[in-house]
Structure formats: C-alpha cells, structure tokens
C-alpha cells in the first residue's frame, strides 16, 4: 500500500465513524504524526493533501520544519520540557501537550517576549501511568484557571489524551468517554469555550471519533511502521 492508498482508506474510515455517530466527517481533522520519518515521506503525505502534521520532539521538528512547505500547520504532540519552550513556540502552531502550570507559565513568558499568541491544548493523564505524561485529573482545574486568568498569550483550544495501548480497542473507549466528559464540564464551567478533542491514534481513531474526537493523531497507519 502506498501513502496515498493509506490516506484514502483512513479518510473513508473517518467518514464512516463520523456518520455512525451522526457527526459531520469534516469536523474531524487528521494530524499526520511524522515523528522519525524523513522529509521525503512527509512531502509525499503533503502532496496527498494533508496540511496538518504532528511531531513529538522539539529538536527533531525544529530541524525538519524549515525544509517543508510553509503552509503546514505543525502540532507538538509530545511532552515539552521547560528548557525547550522557546524553540517550541518558534516552531509549532499548536502545542497539544500542556501538562503543568510550570510549563504554561514558561510558555506564557516566552510568547509574551515574542509578542505571539499560540494555540494550546491541555493533555490529561486519565490512566495515572508512570510512563505517560499529562496533568493529573485532580490538578486539571487549577491549570485551566491558571491559563484563563494568567496566560493572555495562550489560546486554549481543547483537550488531548494518550491512553494506554490495548489491542482490543473497546478497552480504550472509556478513556475517550472520560476526556469528552472533561471537555463538556469545561464548557459548562468557563465562559470561554474550547472546541477541540484530540484523541485516537492509528489503532483506535474510529472509536475516538465515535466518542467525539475532533482531532485524530495518526502516524503508523499513514507512514507505516517506525524503525526505532
Ligand atoms: C506517535 C504518536 C501518535 C501516533 O501514533 P500511531 O500509533 O503511530 O498512529 C499519536 N499521538 C502521540 C502523542 C504520539 O506520540
């Protein structure tokens, strides 16, 4: 299967999942997660019509982004260390992985220095796994308060989660339901509304769409396996 074939298949499955849950397929955005993949393959995906890409490491992305077309919207989907925020702000259009007040404060400072407003999303840790990042659920609303009250340069657009991997995708569904619940609660509680729910990857994006995902982050199903 070529990259173009992979994308065609994914778009069909996205549309089917959207229709199954009475949603408009156009309300689901595919972020092609290009981490570890070389420029030639990213260009191939670009040439198949994708304009939104995701990377999980700041350094790797900062090296690749200048070599690719300027109309790509870049999303940071991996953990961001506070010593790399300036490069992240200069490289990415959206930072999906805000997971602490400390990180939000550092980003706010860097953005204010650059006089730039950046779209951000909060990554929630719904599984409390040692190996995964995200803000613990009990600290979620303090972070929301902080961003709404003290971060004029951070435009909060939505929530993201990275649940544990299950071969049986029905086991992931409760995590997607839980993130949607936080999303609805947020929109009830704050006057400023969020609209994005970033959930679902190659293995489980159709389930995520059924539960309300507006952004799916897909790597392997587009590019094939990563060699690392
Ligand atoms: C790698 C990665 C993805 C894509 O994973 P695939 O299983 O290859 O689709 C999505 N989100 C995050 C945060 C990732 O790090």
Q: H-type helices in 69-226, by residue range?
A: 85-91, 101-114, 140-150, 173-189, 205-210, 220-223
31-42, pLDDT tens digit by residue? 999 999 999 999
CB 194 within 8 A of CB 159: yes
Please report which confidence band the pLDDT of residue 209 belongs to, taking 50, 70 and 90 as the band edges: very high
Ligand 1, atom 10: closest residue by C-alpha: 217
Do residues 88 and 97 touch, judged by C-beta distance below 8 A?
no
The residue whose CB lies within 8 Å of the most ligand 1 atoms, and thus the one to mutate among 14, 31, 33, 53, is 33
Q: What domains sit in the chain, N to C, each tagged with a CATH number?
A: 3-222 (3.20.20.10)
pLDDT band at 131 (very low <50, low <70, confident <90, very high): low
Look at residue 168 in the predicted model and tell me its pLDDT.
96
- Please identify, by atom number, the ligand 1 atom nearest to the C-alpha of residue 226: 8
Q: pLDDT-based confidence at 127, cuts 50/70/90?
A: confident
Asked whether the predicted pLDDT for residue 128 surpasses 80, the reply is no
Q: State the closest ligand 1 atom to the C-alpha of 203, by its place in the atom list counted from 1.
A: 7
pTM: 0.97
User: pLDDT value at position 52?
Assistant: 98
CA of 191 to the centre of ligand 1 (A): 32
Ranking 132-141, 142-151, 197-206 by mean pLDDT, the lowest is 132-141
Pocket of ligand 1 (CB under 6 A): 33, 35, 56, 77-78, 162, 201-203, 217-221
Q: What is the mean pLDDT of residues 122-150?
A: 91
Q: Sign of the CA dihedral 113, 104, 57, 39?
A: negative
Atom of ligand 1 nearest to the CA of 35: 1
What is the token pair recorded at 70? 């300027």
138: how many CB neighbours lie within 10 A of its CB?
8
Closest ligand 1 atom to Cα of 217: 10
Confidence of residue 1 (pLDDT cuts 50, 70, 90): confident
Q: pLDDT by residue (tens digit) across 82-120? A: 999 999 999 999 999 999 999 999 999 999 999 999 999
């Amino acid at each position: 299967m070529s990259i173009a074939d992979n994308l065609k298949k994914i778009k069909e499955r996205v549309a089917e999942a959207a229709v199954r849950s009475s949603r408009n397929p156009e309300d689901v955005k595919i972020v092609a997660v290009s981490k570890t993949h070389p420029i030639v393959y990213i260009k191939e995906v670009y040439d198949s019509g994708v304009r939104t890409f995701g990377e999980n490491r700041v350094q790797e992305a900062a090296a690749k982004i200048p070599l690719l077309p300027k109309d790509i919207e870049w999303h940071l989907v991996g953990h961001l260390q506070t010593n790399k925020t300036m490069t992240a702000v200069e490289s990415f259009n959206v930072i999906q992985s805000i997971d602490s007040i400390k990180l939000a404060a550092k980003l706010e400072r860097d953005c204010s220095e650059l006089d730039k407003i950046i779209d951000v999303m909060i990554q929630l840790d719904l599984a409390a796994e040692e190996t995964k990042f995200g803000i613990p659920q009990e600290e979620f609303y303090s972070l929301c308060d902080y961003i709404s009250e003290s971060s004029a340069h951070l435009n909060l657009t939505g929530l993201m989660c990275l649940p544990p991997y299950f071969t049986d995708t029905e086991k992931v569904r409760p995590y997607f339901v839980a993130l949607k619940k936080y999303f609805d609660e947020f929109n009830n509680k704050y006057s400023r509304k969020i609209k994005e729910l970033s959930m679902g990857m190659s293995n489980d994006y159709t389930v995520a769409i059924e539960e309300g995902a507006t952004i799916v982050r897909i790597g392997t199903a587009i590019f094939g396996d990563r060699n690392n």
